[in-house]
Structure 1
Amino acid sequence: MGKFLESEKRRQTKFKANSPYFSEAARADGVYKGKPRPFCLPLDCAEENLFPEIRQTAPAYFDAQGIKWHDGRNGKPSNHLCDSQVCCVNFLFPFAQKPRALAEVLRPIFPGLREMLPVENGQYVAFEWIGQENYLGERISRNGKRTRGANFTSADAAVLFERSDGKRQMVLIEWKYTESYGSVPLKVAASGTDRTEIYKPLYLRNDCPLNKDLLPSFDSLFYEPFYQLMRQQFLAHAIEKAHELGADAVSVLHIAPARNTDFHRITSPELSNLGETVIDVWTRLVRIEDRFISVSTERLFAKQLPEIQAWSEYVGKRYAWVQAGSMGS
C-alpha cells in the first residue's frame, strides 16, 4: 500500500469529520470490504462522496448512459473517500456544462485549443468512454452490450475540441489519484484467458502506436499500469483512425498527483532500463510525441476559475495538496 494512499486516508477522515459538506449521518464509519472504516461513508450516504452540486446530476448521467460506478451500489458511487473514479468525477463533472472554464483548464496543455465541443448529449465531458465501436476486439457479454466502466477498456473521461488550425482533437483522459502497483504479471487472467491474444493483432499492425523496436517483448506490457496505458493508447489510435465524432487526432492525457510518487515505480522488470518512472518509459514508447501527454493534477488545476468558485473552494478543502502543489508549479 502506497504512502500517498495512507496520507490521503488520514486527510479524508479529517475532512469527513470536520467539513460542512457532509450530513451528520455520513460522518459515521462506512463499511468497505466487510469492515467499518473511518475513511469511508455509510453506504446509504455514498452520494455525499461527490461535490454537492453534482450529487444528483452525476449519478443521473451514469444511469442514463449505463455506466458502472467502481465499487458502487444501487446506482451510487463508491463510499470510499479515496476512490479514483469519484475523484475524477469531482474534478471534471462540474465542467461538463462549462466549456469556457474547461478550455481555460486545458489550453495550457493544448495551446492550439480554440473552443470545446460537446461529446455526448450536449455535455463537454464524457465519462468511461469506450468508443462507439468495439475497436479492440474485446469480448462482449451474452446480451450483446458493452458496459462503460466495466469489462472493457474505458477512458476515465473524454473531451473534444476544435483547434486553431480547424482540426478536431479528442482527448482520452486517464485519471490517477492514490494508485500504486506491484510487479504482478497480468498476461493470463484468472479465467485462464491469455490476454496477449486479445491485443496482439493491434500490436502486430504496421501502424501500431507503440515503438516496438524499444520493447523487449509484448509480454513486458502486461503489468499495471503499462497494461492500462497500452489499452488506452490502442483505443485512442483506433478512434483516430475511425474519425469518431469527426476527430482528426486523438491523444491520451494522463493526469496524476505529483505528490503520489508511489505511482512512479516501474513494475515491469523488462522495461526498467527505458526510464526512471512509468511516465518516462511510456513517453518513450509512444511513437508520435503529442499522442501521449502527462500532467500533474496540481499543474492542470493551478488556475483560479471564478466561474465555478464553489467547486474551487470544495477542491481546495478536500484535495488541499492540489492548491499547495500548484503554488510551486
Structure 2
Amino acid sequence: MTLAAFTMMIMLGGLVGVPAAAESAPTVTAGSTLRITEAADGKPMILEATPDNVQPMRLSAASRAAASLNIPIHHYNICAGNNTCVENSVLKDRAKNLVAFFKATDDPWFISLNEVCRKDFADLSARTGSAGTMVVSLRQNKNDCGGDLFGSAILHPGGVKLDGIAEFLPSRDDELDCTTDECRAMLCLKLQTYAGVMTVCTTHLENESEWAMPQAAEYLWIATAYAAGQPKVLAGDFNLTPEQLRDPDAAPAFYTGMRDLVIESSETMPTWTDHDDDPATWPVPATPRGHIDYIWVDRRGGSIAKAAYCENEALASDHCYTSGSWLYTPPSK
C-alpha cells in the first residue's frame, strides 16, 4: 500500500489497521532546544521545545480555497504508571513510534500528549518536527521517568505559539505540595494558524470521578475564559465517561456546547494487568473498555469523528490512540 493510499484510509476510516510500519516511524534526526520556565508561585513549571528540524505546515491552494478547513487533531497517553516504562522501555518506544507514524500519515495540526516524560517530549518534538509546550504535573517521576519531569504537552505543527497559560486543578488533598507531589494540571496555548487564532488545551484528570468532575468543570471554565470567543480545542484523559460528563446534577451544561472528535462508542482504554507486581504478565493483548479520552471542539462547522486505534499486540500504553478532524470554516470565508 502506498503512503497516499494509507493516508486516505486513515482519513476515511480512522486510525485503524496500522501495520508493523509503525515500528519504522521517523527516527530523531536532530535535537530540540528545550527551555524551562520555573513555576511562579502557585503555578506549574513549563517546558518549551523547538526542534532543529522544524517542519512548518503548508496548505495546498485547494485547501486554502475550500469553504472549510480539515483540521486533524490527535491525543495519546504515552506511558501510564502501571506500565513501569523505566523497566520496560519498549512500551514508551512503541508509543512514541505511534505518535511519529500518525504525524507522518495524518498530518495533524495539534497533538495532545498525556503522561509524558521530559526526554520523551523533547524526542517527539524532534521526531515530528513540531514545536511544543509541556506542563509539569510531577517534578520527579521515578516510576516512568527515572526521576525526571512528567506531565502533559501539546505539539502544534499547525500553528505558531502566541501565548499560553498553565494552571493546577482542584485537588483531592489540600495538603499536596506541588513541588514534590503530583498535582493535576492543564495547559492552553493560543496559536496562529491558517484558520486564524485558535486556543488548544490539554489536561489529565484524577482517576476518581468525584474529583475528576470538578476538575473537568474547572478545565472548561478556564479554557473558555482564556479563549475569549476564539475557536478552542480541549483534549485529554478525563477519567470520566460521556454519561458522567453530561450529568446535569453534577455540572449543568457540561460540555454540551462542544463536540467530541472520538466516536463515542469507541472504547479508549485497554484492560491491563499490574506490571509492577507481576512483570511476567507483560505484554498482554489490549482489550478496549471505557471511553475516557476526548478531543472536544466547539460546535462550529462540522467534524469527522473517528474510532480509537488500539494495539492488539504489545502494549504501548494503557490507552488507545485517538484522533478526529474538525471541519472548521474561518470567519473570513
Q: TM-score, normalised by structure 2?
A: 0.32
Structure with greater proportional helix content: 1
Structure with greater proportional strand content: 2
Q: TM-score, normalised by structure 1?
A: 0.32
Q: Rg larger in 1 or in 2? A: 1
